[in-house]
Amino acid sequence: MKRLALCLLLIAATLVPAQAARLISQLSNDSVEITSSFDGERMNFFGQIAPDAGADARTLVGPFHVIVVVLGPTQNRVAREMTNNFGIWSNTGQVEFDNFPSYFHVLSSGKLTEITDITTLTTNYILPESHTLAANSTDWWNGAIYGQQLVRLMTQEGLFGVQENGVNFLSDNFYSARLTLPSNAPPGPYIALTYVFKDGAVIARKSEGFAVRKIGFERFLALSAVQQPFLYGLVCVILALFTGWLGGVLFRR
């Protein structure tokens, strides 16, 4: 019985974090407005690592690492493979991914694999490839291949990215990070997930939300396309015909 009690105490000691910590963080702005001249927006993240409420210690001893994950609105996305058959390009395969982020960016204070292990990075959806695991495919190999290519395409569009030097510590317990949202950032709700690591383990985390929304004439067009698609399409056709006719008249002269 004594050995059993000792084993239980040892297991409990490994489950309890060495230092109870809490994260005090803030975003520079909670709303990003998209207009016709929108060319991107700079976001700043600030935070302080402090002892948990009720802890005896007044300060925490590092070193610490911080990872900030910014997620855009999720959607079901399909990755397709195009094949050239006798000069004709056609879809020969596809894989659908559920709740795939339309925007994903990671800021960290060091190399991800040096901060913690791959299992922790994957289970917390910190790696871009983590989001390709929810593939609607019985063939896991195809899901992995298509998911890798989808991440590559999203990275080329500037919608996915990893900055392993994106978080800077201004002191032992205070950090800052900077992220520039691209001009093609999808509108919708965003969430910033911040993780504090020590010795490879998560000792504190926090989530904060902000919104990217269209305003003015851009918002009117977006709402019209969703709420009145037939009228929106009809107006687009009329404008295209009028523009073509006007161009023909001008060049004729």
pTM for this model (two decimals): 0.72
Domain boundaries, the chain: 19-215, 217-253
The tens place of each residue's pLDDT in the chain, 253 residues long, gives: 434 333 333 333 334 344 568 888 888 887 777 666 666 788 899 999 888 776 666 677 778 999 999 999 998 888 877 776 766 766 667 788 888 999 999 999 999 999 999 999 999 999 998 888 766 666 677 778 888 888 999 999 999 999 999 999 988 889 999 998 888 888 889 999 999 999 999 999 999 999 887 654 454 455 455 555 666 566 667 767 767 766 666 666 5
Q: Say how many residues make up the chain.
A: 253
Instruction: Name the amino acid, one letter, at 110.
Output: G
* pLDDT score of 66: 95
CA–CA dist 212, 39 (Å, integer): 13
Structural tokens at position 209: 């939300």
Which superfamily is assigned to 19-215 in CATH? Answer: Macroglobulin (MG2) domain (2.60.40.1930)
| Residue 222: count of CB within 10 angstroms of its CB | 15
With contact defined as beta carbons under 8 Å apart, do 196 and 65 qualify?
Answer: yes
Residue 186 is classified by DSSP as P
* pLDDT score of 1: 40
| Residue 206: count of CB within 10 angstroms of its CB | 15
Helices (H), 16-117: 112-115
* pLDDT score of 3: 42
* pLDDT score of 19: 54
* pLDDT score of 235: 62
44: Cα within 13 Å, side-chain hemisphere: 4
Instruction: Name the amino acid, one letter, at 34.
Output: I
* pLDDT score of 109: 94
